[in-house]
Structure 1
Amino acid sequence: MTLGENIRELRKKKGLTIEALADELNSSYSTIGMYELDKRKPDYDMLCKFAEYFNVTVDYLLGVKKKSILSASDLYKEFIEQKVPIEKLADNIGISADTLFKILKSEEGATEADYYRLCKWLGYSEEKAEEFYLRNSPLTNKSFRFTQNLDFIPVPVLGLIRAGQPAFAEENNEGYYPTDRQFISDDHEYFYLRIKGDSMDKEFKEGSLVLVQIQSTLESGEIGVVLINGFDATVKKVFIRDNLITLMPQSNNEDHQPQTYDTVKEEIKILGKVVLAVKKY
């Protein structure tokens, strides 16, 4: 639908005449009529008035909502065609004009959070916001294009998981690793964790990546990622009997010994199951 068609549809949903809408927006009958016939385009300030009044995004009014996710360059062209003032737009989004230009031109200097602020303003879902970021950030777009072409998907790589901190906190994220879709289930979320130390060196050398399927339970004998008593996450073979959980190292270093915990008395949190390893030799 065109901009004019969207305005007309929203007006009718509210049960308003053109004259009534013009009064609400301090405009004129003829001006609103021209907008609805797509014979005149409202300026940016007027677009914002429409968006606020109808409780929709400017992006929705322009019809972007009904398109597939735009590239940053296409979005930039659309803003230029609609004569949207970038400085004012950036202020509304909550980022600097310089940062917005960097996003629209896919240049370095904009953070992931900046991309998400723009996507929120555009009305994108969290999933679409992530795709927009992966497509357009100079830090990720090469990997994203590669994974799109070869039936791979990008999975976040975490250097560590700290207790009391969200697993996907920005400071933990090292980037993304392309992963064959055959190892990924649509029913679960995943992340890679980088192995540190030698407590599992019979299975994974230090620096290897393990693909973790996020889940809160494990079968006895599976290798999982576990938080114990507020310490950073650890990767171990896990054995479970009643309310006892034993973390079994798989190490050539005899300093690493099995540790058993009572889940009733101690704080135990299972984060997920290791389903794949990218080993370092």
Structure 2
Amino acid sequence: MHIGERIKMLRKERKMTQEDLANVLKVAPTAVSAWESGRNKPLMDKLSMMSTCFEIPLSHLIEGAPIVRNNPGMEFLNEKNVRLIGVYGNIPAGEPNFTNEYIEAYMPTLNSMLKSDKEYFFLRVNGNSMNKEFRDGSLILVEKTNYLDNGKIGVVLVNGHDATVKKVRINEENIILTPCSTDPFYEEKTYNIKNDRVRILGKVVQAIKIYD
């Protein structure tokens, strides 16, 4: 069974039409048809999105590895219960407005995992300053907010242009950003709330981790 046949089988299991899947993946229905017939193969970003959409390992889509299903009541993504969240490779400098020009892809995410009154974005982690939590290249889901409870992991903009992901502590005068890394190069940094340009952009609520 080739990749396209597995996509077709998974799509039909979820009672999705080719158009339904195409709408979730932001492609033309003809692209899904070409995949399923074996005339073409989806790129890795679409395979990753389908892995999330179908809630199956990427290895099953690519290689046909077995699927272990532990939850018979599992909720699957479709056009009605999904929100497409933009993926950013980096945070725009200055006053971030998170416009489409900076979005590198969209990740389908179940509405049940999100708060209806909140905005979200995915951020691709760069570097190893948080590798105890998530490795370089991992995707983190961030809820937009300018407030964080002490000890939570957040995305913070420093000096108007350096966006960083760190564990955050705040007192009356300072904001302390603590790395969670195996590399001693990364050290805790303290910024004065009044004198330094430090702005909380959001809190990390989920991570899609990357493994070797």
* TM-score interval, normalised by the smaller of the two chains: 0.5 to 0.7
SS of 1:239 mapped into structure 2: strand
CA contact (8 A) 2:24 2:79 kept: no
Aligned to 2:207: 277
Output the CA distance in 1 between the equivalents of 2:28 and 2:143: 25
Please give the residue correspondences for 1:135-214 in structure 2 after superposition, counting only pairs within 5 Å. Answer: 138=27, 147-149=77-79, 151-164=81-94, 166-214=96-144
Q: TM-score if structure 2 supplies the norm length?
A: 0.63
Task: Tell me the secondary structure at the aligned position of residue 148 of structure 1.
Answer: coil
d(CA) in 1 for partners of 2:208 and 2:25? 27
Aligned residues of 1:160 and 1:232 also touching (Cα < 8 A): no
Asked if 1 retains the 8 angstrom alpha-carbon contact of 2:86 and 2:105, the reply is: yes
1:228 aligns with 2:117: no
Matched, 1:265 2:195: yes
TM-score, reference length from structure 1: 0.48
| Pairwise CA distance, 1:187 | 1.3
* Matched residue type, 1:242: E
CA distance, structure 2, for counterparts of residue 139 and residue 188 of structure 1:
29
Question: Higher Cα Rg: structure 1 or 2?
Answer: 1
- Structure 2: gaps spanning 5 or more residues: 1-22, 33-45, 54-76
User: Aligned letter for 1:166?
Assistant: P
Q: Secondary structure at the match of 1:161?
A: coil
Q: Is the 8 A contact 1:161 1:167 kept in 2?
A: no
Distance 2:144 2:179 in 1: 21
The AA in structure 2 aligned to 1:162 is: P
Measured in 2, the distance between the counterparts of 1:136 and 1:163 equals 28
Post-superposition offset of 1:213: 0.4
The ranges of structure 1 where at least 4 consecutive aligned residues each deviate by more than 6 angstroms after the TM superposition are: 139-145
Unaligned runs of 5+ in 1: 1-133
> What is the identity, as a one-letter code, of the residue corresponding to 2:109?
T
Give the percent of matched residue pairs that are identical in Structure 1 and Structure 2: 41
Larger relative strand fraction: 2
> Is the CA contact (8 Å cut-off) linking 2:174 and 2:191 kept in structure 1?
yes
**Cα distance change on mapping 1:136 and 1:199 into 2, 3 Å:** closer
> CA-to-partner distance for each residue in 1:19-62, whole Å, 9 max, x for gaps?
xxxxxxxxxxxxxxxxxxxxxxxxxxxxxxxxxxxxxxxxxxxx
Q: CA deviation at 1:137?
A: 5.2
Q: CA deviation at 1:150?
A: 7.8
Q: How far apart, CA to CA, are the structure 2 residues paired with 1:238 and 1:175?
A: 28
Which letter does structure 2 place at the counterpart of 1:207?
G
Give the alignment of 1:6-85 within 5 angstroms: none
Instruction: Report the Cα distance in structure 1 between the residues aligned to 2:95 and 2:139, rounded to whole angstroms.
Output: 21
1-structure distance, mates of 2:88, 2:183: 25
For residue 141 of structure 2, give the secondary structure of its aligned residue in structure 1: strand
